[in-house]
Every structure is written in structure tokens, then in C-alpha cells.
Amino acid sequence: MNICRDEAASSKPAPLLLSLAEAGRLLGLSSATIRRRINDGSLTSVQIGGRRLVHAAAVEKLARGGTAE
């Protein structure tokens, strides 16, 4: 599962940050489960303004079976 888009196939660069809904959709999980993963430390995130965003690289690592710390 490659979350980061192939830059040769797209003129847009891959996003560095994903919303909880986007991360959940990519992983097949609910936003609530993504939030639990953030709270237990198995998924890294940042808060920008009022939004909580997940690092795309952390989502990809978690999808591959690792812990995204």
C-alpha cells in the first residue's frame, strides 16, 4: 500500500499530512479508531489551528504493520 502518490504519475506532490477521515479511509478504519491510535501513541499527528492532522508517512508505516512513532 503506497499512500504517497507517485510524483511521476501526478503533477501534484503527495500530501504530507492527512485528516483523520482521510487516514481512516486509507487504512479502512473509522476516525474514532484513528484518534485512539493517536492517543495510544501508535500514530503520530500534529495540531494546526483547530485541526488534528496525521503524518502520511506514519499512516503508510502503520499500514505496513509497524508502529508509526
Per-residue confidence (pLDDT) for residue 40, from 0 to 100: 94
Question: Which residues lie below 8 Å from residue 69, measured CB to CB, with a gap of 6+?
Answer: 41, 42, 44
For residue 15, pLDDT over 90 is answered with no
CATH class of the region 1-69: mainly alpha
pLDDT band at 25 (very low <50, low <70, confident <90, very high): very high
Q: Residue 65 pLDDT more than 90?
A: no
For the chain, the domains span: 1-69
pLDDT at 9: 58
Percent of all residues in the chain with a pLDDT value above 90, rounded to a whole number = 64
Give the span between the Cα atoms of 45 and 64, in whole angstroms. 18
How confident is residue 54, by pLDDT bands cut at 50, 70 and 90?
very high
